Amino acid sequence: MELDTNSTQSTKDDDKAQSSKINPIVEAYEELLKTDIIDLIGGKNFTEEQREELYKKMLDTIMNRVIVKVSEKLPDDDFAELEKMLEEGDKDKINKFFEDKNIDIKQMFVEEALVYKVEMVTLTSQGGNNG
C-alpha cells in the first residue's frame, strides 16, 4: 500500500495558507493591545496634562459601562445595596459584595477596557478616512 504524499502536502499547504491569513489578524490585535490607546487614536503629541484628562474621561466611560453591566446582573435590591456601598467608599465591603455575588469585577473592567479601546481606534480610523 502506497502513502499518498500529495494529499499530505496539500493539507500542509492549506494549513500554511490559513495560518498566513490568521497571522496578520492576530498581529493587528496584538499591536492594538500593546499600544497605548492615546497613541492609537493619534495623540502622540498630546501634553501630559491632555493625556491625563483623556485617561480620566476614558476611565469614567469604562466605569459607567461596567456599572451598567453589573446592574444588569443584579436584582434591583442588590444593586441599590451596591450603590450605597459605592457612596460610602468601603473597598473591602465592595469587594466582598462582588465576591459573594460571583461577579469578577476585574474581568469585567478588562473586557470593557478592551472593547472601548477597539471602538476608539475604529472611530478614529473611520474619521481619518472620511476627513
pLDDT band at 48 (very low <50, low <70, confident <90, very high): confident
Burial class (CB in 10 A: 0-12, 13-18, 19+), 62: buried
Give the pLDDT score at 22.
60
Question: Grid coordinates standing for 88?
Answer: 460610602
pLDDT band at 130 (very low <50, low <70, confident <90, very high): very low
Give the pLDDT score at 131.
40
pLDDT per residue as tens digits for the range 104-127:
999 999 899 888 888 887 887 776
The Cβ-side half-sphere exposure at 30, using a 13 Å CA radius, reads 6
Whether the predicted pLDDT of 103 surpasses 90? yes
Q: 15-23 contacts: CB < 8 A, separation 24 or more?
A: none
pLDDT per residue as tens digits for the range 71-102:
999 999 999 999 999 999 999 999 999 999 99
What span, in angstroms and rounded, lies between the C-alpha atoms of 74 and 109? 17
Give the pLDDT score at 93.
94
pLDDT per residue as tens digits for the range 56-72:
998 899 999 999 999 99
Cβ distance 112 to 67 under 8 Å?
A: no
